[in-house]
């Protein structure tokens, strides 16, 4: 349930901010916020951060497969760590929101533009944070392996 709440909140936040960006910033226009950050309305037919532009069909298919895998994996592994629902919720929410854009429009609206990095959107942020949390969970798990149920090895 927690995963779905996080995913729903991520989808809502991403879709609302994209709609605001489309309504307030003309396509191609950039509004400087600071010397290192702008709101820049662009259409992204590639994947996160503008990688592989023009690959909308393969990206849509891969995203749909990734969403299905996340749902399957979480159904099997969701209770293993208390942060897994949050991590998968962010991943699922960001992925579903961007997938909905691709299916509806054929592209994703990006608008957050640090001058040193390609423009992106909140869905990309949620995906990135979800991956970072998953990596932290797995790294922490490797650093603190579970004890075997049979007890310590005798030797």
The one catalytic residue among 14, 101, 110, 113 = 110
Structure confidence by residue, pLDDT tens digits, 40-89: 999 988 766 566 666 666 767 777 787 777 777 766 665 677 888 899 89
Instruction: Judge whether 101 counts as a catalytic residue.
Output: no
The one catalytic residue among 14, 101, 113, 124 = 124
Q: What is the 3-state secondary structure (H, E, C) of the chain?
A: CHHHHHHHHHHHHHHHHHHHHHHHCCCCCEEEEECCEEEEEEEECCCHHHCCCCCHHHHHHHHHHHHHHHHHHHHHHCCCCCCHHHHHHHHHHHHHHHHHHHHHHCCEEEEEEECCCCCECHHHHHHHHHHHHHHHHHHHHHHCCCCCCCCCCCC
- Look at residue 126 in the predicted model and tell me its pLDDT: 96
Which residues pair with residue 24 across a beta bridge?
none
Stated pTM of the model: 0.79
Instruction: Judge whether 113 counts as a catalytic residue.
Output: no
Residue extents of the structural domains in the chain: 2-143
Structure confidence by residue, pLDDT tens digits, 85-137: 899 899 999 989 998 998 899 899 999 999 898 899 999 999 999 989 988 98
């Amino acid at each position: 349930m927690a995963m779905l709440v996080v995913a729903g909140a991520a989808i809502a936040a991403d879709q609302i901010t994209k709609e605001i960006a489309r309504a307030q910033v003309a396509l191609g226009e950039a509004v400087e916020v600071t010397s290192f950050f702008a709101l820049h309305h662009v259409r992204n037919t590639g994947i996160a951060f503008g990688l592989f532009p023009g690959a909308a069909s393969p990206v849509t298919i891969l995203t749909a497969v990734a969403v299905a895998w996340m749902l399957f994996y979480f159904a099997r592994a969701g209770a293993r760590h208390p942060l897994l629902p949050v991590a998968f919720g962010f991943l699922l929410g960001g992925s579903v929101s961007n997938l909905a854009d691709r299916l509806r429009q054929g592209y994703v609206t990006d608008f957050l533009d640090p001058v040193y990095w390609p423009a992106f959107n909140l869905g990309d942020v949620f995906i990135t944070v979800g991956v970072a949390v998953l990596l932290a969970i797995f790294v922490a798990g490797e650093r603190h392996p579970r004890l075997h149920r049979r007890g310590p090895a005798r030797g």
